[in-house]
Copies of this chain bind each other. A is one copy, B any other.
Amino acid sequence: MQNSKPLKRTKQGKSPKPSKLAEETAKAAREAGNCVCFNVRKTARLISQSYDRALKPHGLNTNQFSILALIGAVPEPQTLSDTARVLGMDRTTLSRNLRHLNKAGLAQTLLDGQDARTRRLALTDKGWTVLAAALPSWRAVQGRTLAAMGPKSWPALRQQLDHLGQATAMAG
């Protein structure tokens, strides 16, 4: 159970007089509850759990499902970098996420005929099968989510999220 270090004990009775710095900083810190980044990340954490549970019977999590769906959605195999861009994901992150999908036999990385540097992404037969099987589960959780949030509000929310992603690039 123990976390290695010896722990102090919270003082009982009168709470210690906070330092001047602490007093001012505590007040300012309450602003940070309004942090855009924190609130988006928090929502991402919460909603991911819901989608992960829904996709679990297919051996996928929401991230893997999104990658498979994107690879499957485009007619010709795209490069790793382009795919990462569409996913809003760092190239190296996608590279590593693909390892799991490769190992699971769901996705394949193909050489390009023109450029020896580039890799192109495609689904395997098994990948198509798993994706096809997972889609109804995704539709179900997506439907429940839209219903719970009021389906009308999603288009506006999505637009704002897109806008925020773009704005972020601007804002540095």
Contacts and interface: CB of A to CB of B under 8 A. Distances in A.
A104 interface: no
Interface size class of A (residues with CB under 8 A): 35 or more
Given A26-B75, A39-B161, A44-B41, A110 B168 contact: no
Given A46-B165, A167-B149, A65 B32 contact: yes
Interface of A: 3, 5, 7-10, 12, 15, 19, 21-22, 24-26, 28-51, 53-54, 62-63, 65-66, 68-70, 72-73, 75-77, 87-90, 99, 102, 108-113, 119-120, 123, 125, 128-129, 131-132, 135, 138-139, 141-142, 144-150, 153-154, 156-158, 160-165, 167-172
Given A62-B37, A66-B32, A45 B110 contact: no
